[in-house]
Amino acid sequence: MEPADSPLMPRITALIRETGPLTFARFMELALYDEAHGYYTTGGGRAPSATSPIGQEGGDFFTAPSLSPILGKCLVRQLVEIDERLGHPPVFHLMEMGPGDGTLLRDLLQECQEQQVSLLPRLACILVERSPAFRRRQQETLAARQEQGVTIRWVDDLQSIADGSLTGTLLSNELVDAFPVHRVRMEQDGLRELYVTSRDHALQEQWGEPSTPELASFLSDLDVELPVGFTTEINLEAVKWIKQVAGVLDRGVVITIDYGHTAQDYFAPERKNGTLMGYHRHTVSTNPMTRVGAQDLTAHVNFSSLARTGERVGLTTTGFTNLQHFLMSLGIEELVEGCDQESEAVRAAARLLRPHGMGTTFKVLMQHKGLDVSTLRGLRHRAFFESALATA
Ligand SMILES: C[S@@+](CC[C@H](N)C(=O)[O-])C[C@H]1O[C@@H](n2cnc3c(N)ncnc32)[C@H](O)[C@@H]1O
């Protein structure tokens, strides 16, 4: 779909006419979450009965849970340890934010049942999902579990949850990379921000003054000085999100899985053009202004920012590792032992470990609150030293 054919284009161009150029973050917010035509709102512009935008067949991109149930199986081992550390609370909240098709929770619950973990009857699941199309998919995926008596409730956002009301684990996989980001560039005379404007019904980029001082503060909070010519993304939503996460958690662990980097790597010379990408039918696009509303847009996550902001609002950084080390720490090898090593299932699990693929590009950040832990099982093998999330 070319930009002019997109049902979102008239809305975006009208907004630009009314209010002037949009920050890139506002444009990305509309492209992904516009109430009528946003990519996530509609489920990738597909009919409700069509295949999901997540997954190998018919999708635009795949995620770890869409490839293999092994992540869910490994996570159960981590949840069991967190439950022990919490002293087996009468209700263990498992909140997943941005659950997509609901596959990860389905796999987790399946494993809990197969292993008969004592946690299962005490689980209260909460799914935080802003897209109606994805919420429907989750309800379908999880209907059988609900019929078996598992408690699952849905909320649109974290504001719907009372502060300090949760004890357990707050989990996300590939949520933060889907938040709208600001794009900035350092020039000789200071920081500039990217705006989207329109001419002759086509969208165009335009650089201007930063729309908010929060952009410069984001960088100075991380002690980062961008070199002249460096373009990057700033995820202010992620900062807001981790503060909300810290607010709703009383006692427990936050597990954030996503592709991304420490600040040091985020602002390394090889990323001088930023990390923003579009995905459509498993094809990568570097042009965010094409297929507006029909392609996924995403930027890598700055884990130092999540850790540092978290520390300020009561989340202690338990540790940081990559997906490969996380899964190995949780015993992925034992889980595939005895399986046919040539089977599709084992091959899919191995994809999550790939040293030049998901195994290293995906990272896992664990933060805790109201708990006395120095480490957790998933961090047994660490790809980073303790100071990796520090920036100076
Ligand atoms: C890239 S998908 C990842 C889906 C799933 N976690 C997986 O790994 O397959 C991002 C998910 O986050 C949801 N999402 C995006 N922003 C959100 C927000 N602010 N609050 C809740 N859900 C959000 C999207 O609708 C979608 O379900």
pLDDT for res 180: 98
**Is the distance from the beta carbon of residue 11 to the nearest atom of ligand 1 less than 6 Å?**
no
> Distance, CA 292 to ligand 1 centroid (Å)?
18
Residue 32's closest CA among 297, 276, 236?
297
Instruction: Please give the Cα distance from 88 to 83 (Å, whole number).
Output: 5
- Does the pLDDT value for residue 254 go beyond 90? yes
Please report the atom of ligand 1 found closest to the CA of residue 61: 1
Please report the atom of ligand 1 found closest to the CA of residue 98: 12
Residue 104's closest CA among 143, 136, 76?
76
User: What average pLDDT does range 272-281 have in this prediction?
Assistant: 93
Q: For a ligand 1 pocket test, name from 129, 135, 136, 364 the mutation site with the most ligand atoms within 8 angstroms of its C-beta.
A: 129
**Is the distance from the beta carbon of residue 175 to the nearest atom of ligand 1 less than 6 Å?**
yes
> Distance, CA 16 to ligand 1 centroid (Å)?
27
Please report the atom of ligand 1 found closest to the CA of residue 40: 25
**Is the distance from the beta carbon of residue 130 to the nearest atom of ligand 1 less than 6 Å?**
yes
Residues 222, 391: contact at Cβ < 8 Å? yes
Residue 351's closest CA among 67, 5, 132?
67
Instruction: Return the structure tokens found at 10.
Output: 């008239």
Q: Where are the alpha helices (DSSP H) in 177-322?
A: 214-221, 236-248, 263-266, 303-312
**Is the distance from the beta carbon of residue 178 to the nearest atom of ligand 1 less than 6 Å?**
yes
> Distance, CA 97 to ligand 1 centroid (Å)?
7
Give the least confident one: 166-180, 233-247, 249-263, 323-337. Answer: 323-337
pLDDT-derived band at 386 (thresholds 50, 70, 90) equals low
pLDDT for res 17: 94
> Distance, CA 229 to ligand 1 centroid (Å)?
32
Q: For a ligand 1 pocket test, name from 130, 136, 236 the mutation site with the most ligand atoms within 8 angstroms of its C-beta.
A: 130
Instruction: Please give the Cα distance from 40 to 161 (Å, whole number).
Output: 22
- Does the pLDDT value for residue 5 go beyond 70? no
Q: What one-character DSSP code corresponds to residue 2?
A: -
**Is the distance from the beta carbon of residue 40 to the nearest atom of ligand 1 less than 6 Å?**
yes
**Is the distance from the beta carbon of residue 222 to the nearest atom of ligand 1 less than 6 Å?**
no
> Distance, CA 70 to ligand 1 centroid (Å)?
20
| Maximum separation of any 2 CA atoms in the chain, in Å | 63
Q: For a ligand 1 pocket test, name from 101, 175, 280 the mutation site with the most ligand atoms within 8 angstroms of its C-beta.
A: 175
pLDDT-derived band at 342 (thresholds 50, 70, 90) equals confident
Instruction: Please give the Cα distance from 225 to 267 (Å, whole number).
Output: 9
> Distance, CA 260 to ligand 1 centroid (Å)?
16
pLDDT digits (tens, 9 = 90+) for 70-125: 999 999 999 999 999 999 999 999 999 999 999 999 999 999 999 999 999 999 99
Give the least confident one: 124-138, 161-175, 331-345. Answer: 331-345
Q: Which residue has the higher pLDDT, 87 or 374?
A: 87
- Atom 4 of ligand 1, residue of closest alpha carbon: 100
**Is the distance from the beta carbon of residue 97 to the nearest atom of ligand 1 less than 6 Å?**
yes
**Is the distance from the beta carbon of residue 133 to the nearest atom of ligand 1 less than 6 Å?**
no
**Is the distance from the beta carbon of residue 161 to the nearest atom of ligand 1 less than 6 Å?**
no
**Is the distance from the beta carbon of residue 68 to the nearest atom of ligand 1 less than 6 Å?**
no
**Mean pLDDT over all residues of the chain?**
93
Residue 176's closest CA among 259, 288, 279?
259
- Does the pLDDT value for residue 1 go beyond 60? no
Give the least confident one: 50-64, 89-103, 109-123, 259-273. Answer: 50-64
Q: Which residue has the higher pLDDT, 376 or 390?
A: 376
**Is the distance from the beta carbon of residue 158 to the nearest atom of ligand 1 less than 6 Å?**
no
- Does the pLDDT value for residue 3 go beyond 80? no
Instruction: Return the structure tokens found at 385.
Output: 């030293």
User: What average pLDDT does range 268-277 have in this prediction?
Assistant: 96
pLDDT-derived band at 44 (thresholds 50, 70, 90) equals confident
pLDDT-derived band at 281 (thresholds 50, 70, 90) equals confident
- Does the pLDDT value for residue 391 go beyond 70? no
Please report the atom of ligand 1 found closest to the CA of residue 103: 9
Where are the strands (E) in the chain, listed by range?
Answer: 22-23, 92-97, 123-128, 151-155, 166-173, 182-187, 190-199, 202-208, 231-234, 249-261, 277-280, 283-285, 296-298, 301-302, 316-322, 362-369
pLDDT for res 59: 84
pLDDT digits (tens, 9 = 90+) for 190-242: 999 999 999 887 899 999 999 999 999 999 999 999 999 999 999 999 999 99
Residues 191, 182: contact at Cβ < 8 Å? no
**Is the distance from the beta carbon of residue 98 to the nearest atom of ligand 1 less than 6 Å?**
yes
- Does the pLDDT value for residue 280 go beyond 90? no
Q: Going from the N-terminus, what domains does the chain have, and what CATH number goes with each?
A: 3-389 (3.40.50.12710)
> Partners of 93 in the beta sheet?
124, 168
**Is the distance from the beta carbon of residue 41 to the nearest atom of ligand 1 less than 6 Å?**
no
Instruction: Please give the Cα distance from 265 to 260 (Å, whole number).
Output: 9
Q: Which secondary structure element, helix H or strand E, spans residue 281, and what is its range?
A: none
Q: Which secondary structure element, helix H or strand E, spans residue 329, and what is its range?
A: helix 323-329
Q: Which residue has the higher pLDDT, 353 or 60?
A: 353
- Atom 24 of ligand 1, residue of closest alpha carbon: 98
